[in-house]
Amino acid sequence: MAVESLDDVLPKLRRRPDVEAPNLQAWDATDRLLLDTAAELMRPGLGLTVIGDRYGALTLGALAVLDPGALKVHQDLITGEQALRLNAAEVLGNAGAGFTQLPLGPELLEGAGLVLLQLPKTLAELDQIAEAVVRHAGPDVVLLAGGRVKHMSLGMNAVLERHFSSVTPQLARQKSRVIAASGPRGAGGPERFPIIEHLAEIELDVAAQGAVFAGPKLDIGTRFLLTFVPSMRAAQHAIDLGCGTGILAAMYARQHPGSTVTATDQSAAAVASALATAGINGLAGQVRVLQDDAMATLAAGIADLILLNPPFHVGAGVHAGAGLKLIEAAGRVLAPGGELWTVFNRHLAYFPALERHVGPTVVKGQNSKFTVTLSTRRGLR
């Protein structure tokens, strides 16, 4: 299939299996700006690495217009990895042609002369990515980091300046901007991620990779849900759905030592963090982790308890679809009679979805910000 310009690629991209809606796009002006900026630097033999590609725009766009020899890609979300393969099949007629999907680490960055990055949401994630680039790529590497101007902050420049001697913001175009970073300062010392902190209020050590929700801190919704854990039933198989650093999984496992717990998330950084959190608290034998999109690989009816602090942000916009997807998944994976414990912001109207997808739902607690509900999976045991 002849694919020679970005117009052959970008309009065909979709987000599935991630949530799709008319107001949610699979690519943005930053992808185009990054690719146009890269075209000015690209030359034969220059190793190209893409980090943070949302749904494949950078990877498939690079294959179309940059003619890279080899192209390596890292995406934190399994949904992004899957969307890239599905889009490659659609656009190129081949799900894995021309690129290799890798974790953030040495193999991804060895030999990279140019790195294209969609700027992440948090400074911690940017810090970990910049550290990896400096540690594993060569001394001549150039990092092009792009984002929507409204989501960029001077803190991002400061993080990049810690890792690179030259950090130069380029002119903005269509409300996007690229920052060019070069002259890696050299990564001495041990890797800083995961960051490990002791949370004295719950007597737990928490491990956090850069990209994980809430970092090594306790989210206030999670804190409220944790107060109900001692009164929850001792499940045979409990699931921490959207586990982040795995605090709920670890605390449930500790208080219910006879239960097996699965901590699952779509984010590679989250499952790596949850695995480390379980390990440093002596719970590795009880907690297993799984990177998965809304438990898609788990059989129906295999859990008797699910803990859920759902996301309510999709990308930078606010969209309830991501939380609703997890509630629907909980209904599928719970056995009849099984329990879903959910914490959510009081203004979010999750109640009808809980009743529809899971079963009868009661409010177990409310504070000024959050509601905790218990839904019992309908059907005969």
Ligand X SMILES: C[S@@+](CC[C@H](N)C(=O)[O-])C[C@H]1O[C@@H](n2cnc3c(N)ncnc32)[C@H](O)[C@@H]1O
Cβ at position 306, least distance to ligand X in Å: 11
Residue 177 within binding range of ligand X, rule CB under 6 A: no
Please count the residues of this chain forming the interface with ligand X, following the rule CB under 6 A.
20
The 8-class DSSP code of residue 132 comes to H
18 exposure class (CB count in 10 Å sphere: 0-12, 13-18, 19+): buried
Question: Cα separation of 31 and 245, whole Å?
Answer: 30
Residue 207 pairs in a beta bridge with: 196
Amino acid at site 90: E
Cβ at position 378, least distance to ligand X in Å: 23
Cβ neighbour number for residue 250 with a 10 Å cutoff: 28
The label of the residue with tokens 């550290």 reads: 131
Cβ at position 285, least distance to ligand X in Å: 21
Quick one: how far is CA 312 from the chain centroid? 13
Q: b/e per residue, 288-316, with b = 16+ CB within 10 A?
A: bbbbbbbbeebeeebbbbbbbbbbbebbe
Q: Which is nearer to ligand X, 52 or 242 (CB)?
A: 242
Among 49, 128, 266, 371, binds ligand X (CB under 6 A): 266
Among 87, 176, 286, 309, binds ligand X (CB under 6 A): 309
Cβ at position 270, least distance to ligand X in Å: 5
Peptide bond into 190 cis (omega under 30): no
Cβ at position 138, least distance to ligand X in Å: 32
Q: Which is nearer to ligand X, 47 or 216 (CB)?
A: 216
Among 47, 244, 331, 338, binds ligand X (CB under 6 A): 244
Q: Which is nearer to ligand X, 30 or 309 (CB)?
A: 309
Cβ at position 131, least distance to ligand X in Å: 21
Peptide bond into 106 cis (omega under 30): no
Among 294, 298, 306, 354, binds ligand X (CB under 6 A): 294
Angle, CA 233 vertex, CA 227 and CA 234 arms, to 5°: 110
Name the one range near ligand X by CB under 6 A: 36-44, 127-135, 176-184, 265-273: 265-273
Which 322-381 positions form the footprint of ligand X (CB under 6 A)?
322, 325-326
Residue ranges binding ligand X (CB under 6 A): 213-214, 219, 222, 242-244, 247-248, 265-267, 270, 293-294, 309, 311, 322, 325-326
